[in-house]
Structure 1
């Protein structure tokens, strides 16, 4: 979407020519009856009682006297924070999205706009105008504006342009992730994910390899392959490389869980809401989206993305509870529950990641329902073996407005994973289920700084708003950009 930063003084906002001018007022800012035309408009609306000066309130005006814009939408933000600005813009776009407007302009009163505000405008536009249509071509597409103008001062322009560039890339990555995750299991197969990775590689200068079953067997990924045995769909192991740093610089490795449909296998899930198990490749989708964003922004660092992808299905060939498999690391795993399959494909990918001698590894997975119970649908669960890496990811979650919360990783949580018949069991008891899952993965990373993002509660929504969110593309992109900035 074409979003431009245009220098327009506060006194000149009345002259902005657009189908709609959205004016965002900081709630703490006291408008002056003798101020600019924009301030006078707010002052009159507040004085008449048509608009309350508190966050979330808005007033739509058609043909406001003295304004070139055909419509003016007055919106009050709770404060001047990036989060409050995003909420105000989300509300404005929700009110305007069905009007088919060709041009939009946005401006802030009472606070200055930064690169972060500009980025959030791009993300809000992506969120508002995205419509899934792959298997529903009859869905009415929202007509996005052909031009969006962000009115800023001359002092703000350079920073805002930087934010718009980053926001465009992140929004495009979020779109890739949402589209992939929203596709049903018969449209988003491991084979399709491999083809999508190749497409992104061609378009954004990424090196891509997609390994088939025989190649995965040759590597020795016995744990990964044990999950795919019950399905007729062939597994794939996707390797994507972005080389923007020095030739010998250690890369950051991202690992995304790619279960394109999860029945639970022999440990079959209950029928209600099983359709949402198409979202169990949300980690893979977010890694694809992040590589899309990085391919556009081209930071000076090296990034490798690894995506093990398959279906988890029940059949006469499927892995059974009690089976023991040998992972790529050589560790044997007793599979007590075939519905704890994500960790079985991730552990082999984590072991494979060591081949790159990475500076850090971050895996992303819709791993446990226990994380949803612990954190709900706002924060992703963050587990990390390294405090500095954890701090970087938490800082990225704040700057990206993509919240994460650090969870414990004490050794005592691994006690429940002991097995009499293998080196480790794939599940422990119900208490602390997201933590014991992370402790299982921790066994396969060695001394490399490693973090695990459990996104089970944030990768998609249920109910009337059912669909993928594209999280945590923003967090991952900001994390990688911060690494490049170092």
Structure 2
């Protein structure tokens, strides 16, 4: 595991005197040096390397120099930052990725990043440190838990320090702590998502919550089938009817705020494997349905991150977890079930099961008298069609309280690059959920599929301020890069950090 820290510099200290296996500095196009690179160029060797054309200065370009005269560091890594004065967050993230790739191959023990973190457009030092840590940790992540032979990793640099002005030491230290907590939460979410359905069962998710509770002194409660029957969660239990794994309803509480403060509640869809049930999916790519618990995974990852930060906020995570399997006892298309709210649902398609487990969870959380509820779910393929893999879909009602919640989530997404896009919820879409035989159907046809799914959930959230994040397009990648992304842990954690800051 990579170790992160800060090194401070003041007027009396020369960058050139810093001892390290490697020091990374930025250069711009047109052969211009950043102030940090200039401080290392007393011998003119860096300027000579630029003049030789060995590095263009374009984003993504790198050049490793060794044993520069007058520089205590063994190596100097030049990182291209593009045009001077146009340093964007994307370029800085690319620079961090370049650093990650190079230092993974070096023999040195430590590296110092002396990049112009204060010169990024519309970003600050804290953002630069947090995002760099996330990039560096992402590059070292391996999904080889279940491989008998682990992936060989190059020795590489194990210690990374960020060079900052002494006056910014406190800000930088806090940013390192935040970046580490975020990375740890994202890693947990990715690990849970990547585990197969025969390992990451509802019981496994429940045990993961218990481990978190023990490590960070949180409270946790796990309800089983009998307790769910007593609560009359007929909708959630209808999904669990076909599977061999016992359903679990997980409640994990981080109570870091004042006792009287209303909690912010996160509800995560925890379908540990989704065959579609009797409305069976096609076989091609069905293995990816192990990722249908990424909403649950992101709740646990977020709880881990805020617990590590000892966030002064009351947050409750709620996870309805079950498989969705076909069997002789599975729910059939046309069956009608009664949800915990008393509303009846005609199940026209058993593959629209996420909303059936979430609706009972959304009713359950009324008891917490929440300040706000956000549910997170890999809910609809229609959301992928609408927004692709760049933005999560954000749905909520249109009034002042809900607009404010939507803006909080959208701004947290923009701050982290874990972005969301607001989609409509209107009464006109509710018409598509009409049933001749029950209060509603569980699907509304192919038109606006992600919207009608959100409209279904909206019917169960009338007693509090609520938002829904559809992460079907952002929670995992297919193809050669197949794997969980850890989204939207960064969005959710930043959203909660902002709420805690506002509550001070």
Match of 2:55 in 1: 51
Residue 134 to residue 387, structure 1, CA distance change in 2 (3 Å): same
1:109 positional shift: 3.8
Residue 99 to residue 337, structure 1, CA distance change in 2 (3 Å): farther
CA contact (8 A) 1:82 1:120 kept: no
Distance 2:356 2:46 in 1: 58
Residue 141 to residue 482, structure 1, CA distance change in 2 (3 Å): farther
1:80 positional shift: 3.0
Match of 2:79 in 1: 75
Residue 362 to residue 30, structure 1, CA distance change in 2 (3 Å): same
1:392 equivalenced with 2:415 (yes/no):
no
Match of 1:120 in 2: 131
Superposition RMSD on alpha carbons, in Å?
A: 2.1
CA contact (8 A) 1:119 1:164 kept: yes
Comparing 321-330 with 80-89, greater Cα deviation is found at: 80-89
Comparing 88-97 with 321-330, greater Cα deviation is found at: 88-97
Residue 388 to residue 87, structure 1, CA distance change in 2 (3 Å): same
Match of 1:217 in 2: 229
Distance 2:114 2:475 in 1: 31
Superposition map of 1:382-421 within 5 A = 382-385=394-397, 386-421=402-437
Superposition map of 1:35-114 within 5 A = 35-38=38-41, 42-78=46-82, 79-99=86-106, 101-109=108-116, 111-112=118-119, 114=125
Render the CA deviation track for 1:144-171: whole Å, top value 9, x for unaligned.
6432111111132222112111111111
Superposition map of 1:337-416 within 5 A = 337-385=349-397, 386-416=402-432
- Select which of 140, 150, 153 maps to 2:151: 140
CA contact (8 A) 1:26 1:110 kept: no
5+ unaligned residues in a row in structure 1: which ranges?
none
CA contact (8 A) 2:339 2:359 kept: yes
Superposition map of 1:238-317 within 5 A = 238-317=250-329
What secondary structure sits across from 2:469 in the alignment? strand
CA contact (8 A) 2:366 2:463 kept: no
Match of 1:442 in 2: 458
Comparing 321-330 with 152-161, greater Cα deviation is found at: 152-161
CA contact (8 A) 2:25 2:113 kept: yes
CA contact (8 A) 1:82 1:116 kept: no
Render the CA deviation track for 1:265-306: whole Å, top value 9, x for unaligned.
111111111111111111100100000011111222111100
What secondary structure sits across from 1:3 in the alignment? strand
1:314 positional shift: 0.5
- Select which of 471, 475, 482 maps to 1:466: 482
Match of 1:170 in 2: 182
Distance 1:400 1:29 in 2: 31
Residue 424 to residue 28, structure 1, CA distance change in 2 (3 Å): farther
1:65 positional shift: 3.9
Scaled by the length of structure 2, the TM-score of the pair is 0.92
Match of 1:20 in 2: 22
Render the CA deviation track for 1:84-133: whole Å, top value 9, x for unaligned.
31221012212332446531211114844611111112211220111123
Comparing 135-144 with 221-230, greater Cα deviation is found at: 135-144
- Select which of 460, 472, 477 maps to 1:456: 472
1:316 positional shift: 0.7
CA contact (8 A) 1:23 1:107 kept: yes
5+ unaligned residues in a row in structure 2: which ranges?
none
1:450 positional shift: 0.7
Residue 299 to residue 46, structure 1, CA distance change in 2 (3 Å): same
Comparing 104-113 with 383-392, greater Cα deviation is found at: 104-113
Number of residue pairs matched by the alignment: 486
What secondary structure sits across from 2:167 in the alignment? coil
1:53 positional shift: 2.5
Distance 1:164 1:181 in 2: 26
